[in-house]
Amino acid sequence: MNSETLHSLADADATAALGAALARALGPQPRGVLWLLGDLGAGKTTLARGLLESLGVKGRIRSPTYTLMEPYELGGRSVLHMDLYRLADPLELQNLGLADYPPEHHLWLVEWPEKGAGLLAPADLIVDLQVHGEGRRARLSGPWSGHISEFLKVEH
């Protein structure tokens, strides 16, 4: 089911909490592709950190701004946190070794997915974060959005 929902986020803590809720909705063996859209400072990395912490990542969660990709091992599966902002050409994706982590078996969190246009796996869930007053708004869309939105309604 492909639907769209809008969530108001008062601050960075609420953005991280949405990430944690998304992790719970994905279940114990998450896999697939989440695109995180939004301008600089919209909260993409904050949401990713909340999601990764809720999945059980221990220790410091680094922003992949300069490394492009930070892999995390969780129970035999990898979660890849990617920040493609610095890609000059989508062909640079080939240097990341993504073929070793097919999204059918691993979870990809992708910030700035538009930089990988044409070569990046399509999104199962798109989280579009926008500054709204003092807080943020998160618009969820894509094939998983109906399931995720129902889960979020039940959780609250």
pLDDT of 80-131, one tens digit each? Answer: 999 999 999 999 998 889 999 999 999 999 999 999 988 899 999 999 999 8
Q: Which residues contact 33 (CB under 8 A, 6 or more apart)?
A: 103, 107, 108, 110, 120, 121, 122, 123, 124, 125
Residue (of 139, 150, 151, 142) closest to 37 by Cα position: 139
Question: Helix or strand or coil: residue 100?
Answer: helix
Lookup result for tokens 């909705």: 25
pTM: 0.90
pLDDT at 134: 84
Q: Could you tell me the two tokens for 108?
A: 């990809």
pLDDT at 2: 66
Q: Could you tell me the two tokens for 148?
A: 């995720």
Please state, in angstroms and rounded to a whole number, the distance separating the CA atoms of residues 70 and 58: 14
Measuring CA to CA, how many Å separate 3 from each of 54, 70, 77, 142, 149?
Answer: 25, 30, 28, 7, 9
Lookup result for tokens 């719970």: 24
Kindly tell me if the per-residue pLDDT of 8 is higher than 70.
Answer: yes
Kindly tell me if the per-residue pLDDT of 29 is higher than 90.
Answer: no
Question: Helix or strand or coil: residue 34?
Answer: strand
pLDDT at 44: 93
Question: Helix or strand or coil: residue 84?
Answer: coil
